Amino acid sequence: MTDYDFVIANPEGYDLAPEFVGKAKVTHNQDEALEGADFVYAKNWSAYEGDNYGKVLNMDRNWTVSKEKMALTNNAYFMHCLPVRRNMIVTDDVIEAPTSLVIPEAANRVVSAQTVIKKLLQDNY
């Protein structure tokens, strides 16, 4: 629904529900997804379907966002909602790079939470 490409890359067995994917491209090849990307938003994965719901099925560290992985991008900005497991989801050199947006992103959560609380209080009084 946008004028840019949105790619979801996840390990096999971690596919998202179709209603969340929409028309986004989905791949199980992280390098393919990172190639030429302008932004990288990393998240840990747990299974969505069946008896494996919420379980971590694979501890493959090849999915860790590293300096080498970021070199595949178009000098992309790195994003994560925090907290993050350093050197599992993302390496220290990526999360602390000048292209990391994690701290400004975290600051936005404070404003968002304040807005929700204000709205709840206004609606109830």
pLDDT single digits (tens) 22-75: 889 999 999 999 999 999 999 877 677 777 776 666 677 889 999 999 999 999
Question: Which tens digit of pLDDT belongs to each residue from 95-118?
Answer: 999 999 999 998 888 888 999 999
Rg (CA), the chain: 17
Which residues are part of the catalytic machinery? Answer: 81
Q: What's the rounded Cα separation, in Å, for the pair 49 and 15? A: 8
Contact criterion met (CB below 8 Å) for 89 and 64: yes
Contact criterion met (CB below 8 Å) for 64 and 91: yes
Q: Supply the DSSP symbol for 3.
A: S
Q: Supply the DSSP symbol for 97.
A: S
User: Which domains are assigned to the chain?
Assistant: 7-124 (3.40.50.1370)
Work out the pLDDT band at 16, boundaries 50, 70, 90.
confident
